[in-house]
Amino acid sequence: MTPAELSRTVLRSVRGAVEEQELSVPVPARIVVQPPPRPGCGDYASNVALQLARQAGRPAREVAEILRKRLIGSAGITRVEIAGPGFLNFTLGDGAQAALVREVLAQGDRYGDRSVRSARGVGAGDVAGPGSSPDREPAPDREPGRGPDPDPDPDPDPDRGPAPGPAPSARDVVVAEALARIQAAAGVVAVDGGQAAPVATPPDLTALIARLGVDEARWVLLRPAAQDPVRVPERPVQRESNPRFRVQYAAARARALGRYAQELGFGSEPGDVGAPARGEAVGEGPSDGSVSAAQNLQTFHTLLATYPSAIETAARLRAPDRVVRHLEATADAFFRWHDVCPPLPVGEQKPLAVHRARLALAEAGGTVLANGLRLLGISAPEHL
């Protein structure tokens, strides 16, 4: 069961409770399920009972118990528990993670794209026009950055040109372009209807690209939140200490695993990824007290599952940095899992079902990373 399927299942339980008059509330349009705030609270959680309690005029835990009884035994759900004031915690069946991987691979480059059609956008390699926006044509009789011309001046001064607006900065242009892609993928209609005229590349963006390259320049401009300053490095660093490189490297590594597996004569198949290597059993924390392998695996799956909602949140808040942070977390989780659960056979080992399952999970991770990089206008190279 995927998060989207779980959301629909919970929504059906609410609708059923209303239809059978167990609850007297308007049926919500959608139910939000999210990863729980801490380990040990199931795979996903929802505050739907707290949201409905006031309208129902009943305690939230009582509403939660009505929904819990309806959800017990649902396909793909192993356990439903009530926590705190009325949160519902869901533990999914053993096939839930494989189902998620299968969904990501089936949708491919459309995973996370809720729009009717994908936003084409400007390719990450289009250095000549980094300020242009997807599917936009210059509006007739308009200056870049201006609305429709006002009524003609009855006494025009031929020496007086139109009053120019403030010139957009490099950050303004790159954020606007990335946000157009993100909003298109989330199915959000832009405030300007997506018809704003393109602007010329600002001189500071041209200089930054010349100094850092396109990918690094865009990353450093998109990474900070709107209220935070941009920190420009002296030069791009091609090592894992650089978050942009780490994300691209993880995407390239996932693709490389597929090529190496093909050379060994096997392909990917979603399934049980098995216990980690190096003698560490799933569910047992290592002796140094760091996060256990089971938690690393759960974190990786959760980040893949919540990528579509991260895109929707970034579009709603007009915050491309949300996508950047999600990709960084996904790349870090990929490497933590990959290092203890190698997708390829080691030494004289023959390819097994567990290797096919791990390869599928790695490819799903690479798909999410590549999709997110494209939305940001940053390349997802096959080799790095």
**pLDDT tens digits, 183-242:** 999 988 665 554 445 566 788 889 999 999 999 999 999 999 999 999 988 888 888 889
Secondary structure of residue 87 in the 3-state scheme: strand
CA distances from 374 to 71, 112, 255, 308 (A): 38, 12, 16, 14
Structure tokens at 371: 């999709």
**Opening angle at CA 360, ends 355 and 363, nearest 5:** 125
Whole-number pLDDT of residue 36: 82
Share of the chain above pLDDT 90, in %: 55
Mean per-residue pLDDT, 156-169: 61
Question: Which DSSP letter does residue 34 get?
Answer: B
Backbone angles phi and psi of 41, in degrees to 5: -115, 30
d(CA 96, CA 102): 10
Residue that wins the pLDDT comparison between 286 and 106: 106
Q: Is the pLDDT of residue 306 over 80?
A: yes
Mean per-residue pLDDT, 3-14: 90
Q: Is the pLDDT of residue 91 over 60?
A: yes
Total Cβ atoms within 10 A of residue 60: 21
Q: Is the pLDDT of residue 102 over 50?
A: yes
Tell me the one-letter amino acid at 36: P
Backbone angles phi and psi of 161, in degrees to 5: -85, 175
CB 369 within 8 A of CB 107: no
d(CA 336, CA 320): 25
Whole-number pLDDT of residue 286: 46
d(CA 89, CA 42): 6
Q: Using alpha carbons, select from 182, 216, 166 the residue that is nearest to residue 114.
A: 182
Q: Is the pLDDT of residue 348 over 90?
A: no
Q: Is the pLDDT of residue 278 over 60?
A: no
Share of the chain above pLDDT 70, in %: 79
Q: 15: part of which helix (H) or strand (E)?
A: helix 3-19
Whole-number pLDDT of residue 87: 93
Mean pLDDT, all residues of the chain? 82
Residues 6+ apart with CB under 8 A from 289: none
Inter-axis angle of helices 293-305 and 321-340, to 10 degrees? 140
CB 124 within 8 A of CB 132: no
Question: Which DSSP letter does residue 89 get?
Answer: E
Tell me the one-letter amino acid at 235: R
Report pLDDT digits (tens) over 121-142: 433 333 223 333 333 333 333 3
CB 356 within 8 A of CB 257: no
Mean per-residue pLDDT, 231-260: 92
Tell me the one-letter amino acid at 243: P
Question: Which DSSP letter does residue 151 get?
Answer: S
Between strands 87-92 and 44-46, the pairing is antiparallel
pTM of the model as a whole: 0.74
Q: Is the pLDDT of residue 167 over 90?
A: no
CA distances from 255 to 162, 210, 300 (A): 52, 29, 17
CA distances from 150 to 141, 146, 156 (A): 11, 11, 13
Question: Which DSSP letter does residue 110 get?
Answer: G
d(CA 329, CA 312): 17
d(CA 347, CA 115): 45
Structure tokens at 69: 């009884």
d(CA 44, CA 283): 18
Tell me the one-letter amino acid at 298: Q
Whole-number pLDDT of residue 161: 52
